[in-house]
Chains A and B, each alone.
Chain A
Amino acid sequence: MSGMDDLYRENILDHYRHPRHHGTLEKPDITYEDANPLCGDRIRMDLKIDQGRIADIRFSGHGCSISQAAASMLCEAVQGKTLEEVKRVGRDDVLEMLGIELGPVRLKCGLLALKTLKAGVYGIHQWPGEDDANEGEAS
């Protein structure tokens, strides 16, 4: 059971079963949606901005436990933060929230929420400075 404890710690399962900030916002100031083409995971982030701070944030979409839990944790972490602070959140922060090691395929699941949030905040498709391993898929 040791491997399983590492991969599905209780905090991940908790966020997966009871996602925080789940849903959509009416008339969001920022909305962005992205997908992981490899596994079909899809996440949309809706943000309300008040004086440069995230007044409210919601995520929706579907995907594996890692991608959904990471989205839930990330929303919790950035609620109330300024956009400048959000821009400084990096992959290591998300991996720390998850608290587990991720292989290359699951890493993309774990970082999809961050990628979506950052793209929304920057207002661009690709934000600068994050590695984005891009494996293909065999049949």
Chain B
Amino acid sequence: MKSPPKTRPAAAAAWAEPPVDAGPATGLDAAIVRADFPIFRTPREKPLRYLDSAATSQKPDTVLAAMDRYYAGYNANIHRGIYAIAEQATAAYEDTRRKLASFIHAASPREIVFTRNSTEAINLVAHSWGRSRLRAGDAVLLTEMEHHSNLVPWQLLAEAIGVELRYLPITGSGELDLERLPVLLADGKVKLVGVVHISNVLGTINPIADIARAAHEAGALTLVDASQSVPHCPVDVRELGADFLAFTSHKMLGPTGIGALWGRRDLLETMPPFLGGGEMIREVKLSGSKWNDLPWKFEAGTMPIAEAVGLGAAVDYLEDLGMDKVFAHDRALAAYAMERLVEVPELTVLGPPAPRRGGVVAFTLGDLHPHDIATVLDDEGICVRAGHHCAMPLHERLGIPASARASFHCYSLREEVDALVQGLHRARRVFAR
């Protein structure tokens, strides 16, 4: 197991007013980092300009090699076998749990529950905690900028047991309207606040610590959708003061198929299981069963072992880069992109100014449909996202059917932003009416 980082980097909340004009001085040389990612070495007709890391990140050699080593060297099921490779597989799987705990500064590895992804982590809380703790008349407070993954599980819960859903609105600059927070919490009915850490559309960095404090004062827990923050910036769950936090491997240089829920131990201990099956039990009788200890109580059936091993290698890779440097790099690129994008006539960037956002820049371009923009860019090898990015209510709130989005990670280059701007000029020419 890797030792924890020597100096603990500041959490995202402390990044309110950092220097933006980082450029090459962010301490991370993306051109060098890039050499570790085989997808950029794969020969192709046009160079790959991948600007869709908010959808999924690319994977470094070390992650792929770790998964290969597992399958070739010690493929065995975990927590069962007595033989050597089964013990080796169990150790590797549990080692990733320890790495994740250290990565987000959890009090104990037992607070890390493996899931398929962030979506499943949030569904776990909605199902296990929500159905056992909430009843009709209670309320869950979400925000207008949530991804569908932090909306639909609560809508299902609302349908099932009749809890009320409330929504914290956004301001004109695409930030949470915090003045409305005390009003929405005032009647004491809200039992949980579900909020995204960094918006996957607006890029907004939300002040989680302030929100969690207000929620706690009103007797509510806080669940953080950290899908776009854990992969990109230092996250310290103790500083955030949250109760649950969900994130996913494939956005943080790891494989698909695995993610995690962090939860405060005292909460997880008293929550009923989510899925039933093998591994999550201590004792099964035909008349009933006793549950396993944390965190295995929540890990039913054979888990994605190779993916857990790959995720462990991804955490090592990110820690070697330094999450503060990764974040500075992503944000410098977003700031540079915003600076360059204003050159394109009729282009509107969604969300707050650069100093208050992460490495995500979504935009509209006149009346050009984002699909058309993305198709022209694709012709230049530029990958951007076009659509509603699984945030339909947010797009409705913004009054647009869809948007195009560029997003960055540690391997993203300034020249890719330059290519994006060139491509957008071309899209305007192609579709000039």
Interface residues of A (CB under 8 A from B): 1, 3-4, 7-8, 13, 16-17, 37-42, 62-66, 105-106, 109, 137-139
- Do the beta carbons of A64 and B372 come within 8 Å of each other? yes
Pick from A13, A63, A139: contact of B369, CB below 8 A: A63
Contacts of A63 in B (CB 8 A): 369
Within 8 A of A (CB), among B59-108: none
Closest beta carbon of chain A to B184's beta carbon, Å: 25
Whether a CB of chain A sits under 8 angstroms from the CB of B128 is: no
Q: Given A4-B379, A17-B433, A39-B401, do A64 and B369 touch, yes or no (CB 8 Å)?
A: yes
Within 8 A of A (CB), among B5-58: 54-56
Pick from B147, B375, B431: contact of A139, CB below 8 A: B147
Q: Given A109-B371, A139-B149, A139-B227, do A39 and B433 touch, yes or no (CB 8 Å)?
A: no
Contacts of B378 in A (CB 8 A): 3
Whether a CB of chain A sits under 8 angstroms from the CB of B370 is: yes
Instruction: A13-B431, A39-B388 are known; give 17 further A-B pairs, CB within 8 A.
Output: A3-B378, A3-B379, A7-B375, A16-B431, A37-B392, A39-B369, A39-B370, A39-B387, A40-B387, A41-B369, A64-B372, A65-B369, A109-B371, A137-B389, A139-B147, A139-B149, A139-B389
- Do the beta carbons of A64 and B371 come within 8 Å of each other? yes
Whether a CB of chain A sits under 8 angstroms from the CB of B376 is: yes
Q: Given A38-B387, A40-B401, A138-B56, do A66 and B200 touch, yes or no (CB 8 Å)?
A: no
- Do the beta carbons of B401 and A65 come within 8 Å of each other? no
CA distance A17 to B433 in the complex (A): 5
CA distance A40 to B399 in the complex (A): 12
Shortest Cβ distance from A4 into B: residue:
B379
Q: Given A64-B369, A139-B147, do A39 and B379 touch, yes or no (CB 8 Å)?
A: no
Whether a CB of chain A sits under 8 angstroms from the CB of B395 is: yes
Contacts of A139 in B (CB 8 A): 54-55, 147-149, 200, 227, 389-390
Contacts of A38 in B (CB 8 A): 387
- Do the beta carbons of B431 and A40 come within 8 Å of each other? no
- Do the beta carbons of B149 and A137 come within 8 Å of each other? no
Pick from B54, B370, B387, B431: contact of A137, CB below 8 A: B387
Whether a CB of chain A sits under 8 angstroms from the CB of B386 is: yes
Contacts of B372 in A (CB 8 A): 64-66
Whether a CB of chain A sits under 8 angstroms from the CB of B161 is: no
Shortest Cβ distance from B147 into A: residue:
A139
Pick from B55, B369, B376: contact of A138, CB below 8 A: B55
Shortest Cβ distance from B225 into A: residue:
A139
Contacts of A64 in B (CB 8 A): 369-372
Contacts of B433 in A (CB 8 A): 17
Contact code string B390-423 (vs A, CB < 8 Å = 1, else 0): 1010010000011000000000000000000000
> Which 4 A/B pairs are nearest by Cβ-Cβ distance?
A40-B401, A64-B369, A64-B371, A3-B379
